[in-house]
Amino acid sequence: SSVSSDKATQETPSYACQRRTPLHHHNKEIVDALQILALSASFQGSEARYLGFTRAASVLKCLPFTLQSAEEVKDLQFCGGHSKTVIQEILEDRVCREVEMVKNSEHYQSMKVGFKVLTGIFGVGIRTADKWYRDGIRSLSDLNEIEGKLTGEQKAGLLHYTDLQQPVTRDEAERVEQLVKGALQSFVPDVQVTMTGGFRRGKQEGHDVDFLITHPNEEALNGLLRKAVAWLDSKGSILYHHIKGRSHNFARSSTMDGHETCYAIFALPNACPEKSPDAGTIQPDLDKSPPRNWKAVRVDLVVAPYSEYSYALLGWTGSKFFYPLLQHFERELRRFSLQVKKMSLNSHGLFDIEKKCHYPATSEEEIFAHLGLLYLTPSERNA
């Protein structure tokens, strides 16, 4: 394997968006260990160590072979120093003492469980979970004490917690797609609907289903999302939804975007429904109500004007930078654009800061070309 390792070494560039990162790779034990240390660093508030371990793990995901000796990583980006010690120990002893210690530490375990529970609630991001955790909130029952302070989204997330903790399968995602397309096409027959997110990168399951909606004629998109969601709601297919309107004044460098977006929880009918779901009889899923013929599924619907569609597609395909996935393709792409190309990228477009101009694009391939990057297919963006 020394030939392949030399080759991999020479070809490993610094940014994850310059590398093909497949969904499945060859160094799971080491990557898992480095990600445990990354998570532990983030629990201790050390962003730098978090990024260091995350980047080392991300580089190893691209290796086309299983590591045999630590020598093979000596020239790899981000795999020196502390990470190299970890890699070496695992290769020699199968385990790394530091990782075992971290895994068994009370702080790590309680943080992990606490964060997993809290960030697992729809409407609870890493910031809220962090704040709650510091306020002593560790479990769902602790949340009763601050019930009055919960947002509508968070309340809906709690109500459907059990269902939303179950991964969404590809089959379920495809059935959601039929529902969504049916609703949108009843208003605009030739509307374009694309499944984005993890499923587009080839994952077999996800925490939600993401869709991007567009049409060459911008007029056709006016009010479409609201009408389609209201239609689905009237059929009992929507348990919760919140629509964020399109905003024109988002910061160019912001990671937030201004696309019209619907964050929803669908009542997805079972594969062979005996009867259709009825909004009037929906019960919280934590009690002992009779068997249901639907499952609560998180759905994101994003509307992008045709001219921004490729940028929105690239942005909403991921992978994202967010616990608990430790995936960071999007973050790396934006960091590369800014640092290497002096261009600001978001899901609306690409702006050249020095030349002060925008680059239009009609495909993801064109965006990679504008950035001077080799094109990566969605399934190669699992960094």
Is residue 315 involved in binding ligand GTP (CB under 6 A)?
yes
| Identified catalytic residue from 130, 208, 257, 285 | 208
CB of 207 to Mn ion, least distance (A): 6
What is the maximum span of the chain, computed from C-alpha positions, in angstroms? 65
Is residue 172 involved in binding ligand GTP (CB under 6 A)?
no
Is residue 378 involved in binding ligand GTP (CB under 6 A)?
no
* Residue 15 CB partners (closer than 8 Å, separation 6+): 332, 333, 335, 336, 340
Choose the one of Mn ion, ligand GTP, none that binds residue 257, judging by a C-beta under 5 to 8 angstroms depending on kind: ligand GTP
* Three-state DSSP state, 321: coil
Q: Where are the beta strands (DSSP E) in the chain?
A: 168-169, 192-195, 205-206, 209-214, 238-244, 260-269, 294-303, 343-345, 350-352, 357-358
Is residue 349 involved in binding ligand GTP (CB under 6 A)?
no
Residues 99-128 that bind ligand GTP (CB under 6 A): none
Letters for 248-287 (x = contact with Mn ion by CB under 5 A, - = none) are: ----------------------------------------
Nearest to 184 by CA among 242, 140, 238, 228: 228
Question: How many Å is the Cα radius of gyration of the chain?
Answer: 22
Backbone dihedral angles phi then psi of residue 192, each to the nearest 5 degrees = -100, 125
CB of 261 to ligand GTP, least distance (A): 6
Is residue 347 involved in binding ligand GTP (CB under 6 A)?
yes
Neighbour-count burial of 214, counting CB atoms closer than 10 A to its CB (0-12 exposed, 13-18 middle, 19+ buried): buried
The footprint of Mn ion on this chain (CB under 5 A) covers a number of residues equal to 6
Whose CB is nearest to Mn ion? 197
Tell me if residue 210 is catalytic: yes
Letters for 2-41 (x = contact with Mn ion by CB under 5 A, - = none) are: ----------------------------------------
Contact 157, 121 (CB under 8 A): yes
| Identified catalytic residue from 210, 233, 285, 352 | 210
Q: Within 13 Å, how many C-alpha atoms sit on residue 139's CB side?
A: 2
Residues 197-216 that bind Mn ion (CB under 5 A): 197-198, 206, 208, 210
For ligand GTP, give the closer residue by CB, 114 or 315. Answer: 315
Choose the one of Mn ion, ligand GTP, none that binds residue 318, judging by a C-beta under 5 to 8 angstroms depending on kind: ligand GTP
Nearest to 24 by CA among 169, 171, 202, 167: 202
Is residue 163 involved in binding ligand GTP (CB under 6 A)?
no
From 35, 40, 319, 337, residue interacting with ligand GTP (rule: CB under 6 A): 319
Nearest to 301 by CA among 247, 260, 249: 260
**Rounded (5°) CA angle 21-27-28:** 95
Tell me if residue 208 is catalytic: yes
Choose the one of Mn ion, ligand GTP, none that binds residue 203, judging by a C-beta under 5 to 8 angstroms depending on kind: ligand GTP
CB of 300 to ligand GTP, least distance (A): 6
The footprint of ligand GTP on this chain (CB under 6 A) covers a number of residues equal to 16
Using DSSP bridges, classify how beta strands 357-358 and 294-303 pair: parallel, antiparallel or unpaired. Answer: unpaired
Return residues touching Mn ion (CB under 5 A): 197-198, 206, 208, 210, 300
Catalytic residue positions, numbered: 208, 210, 300
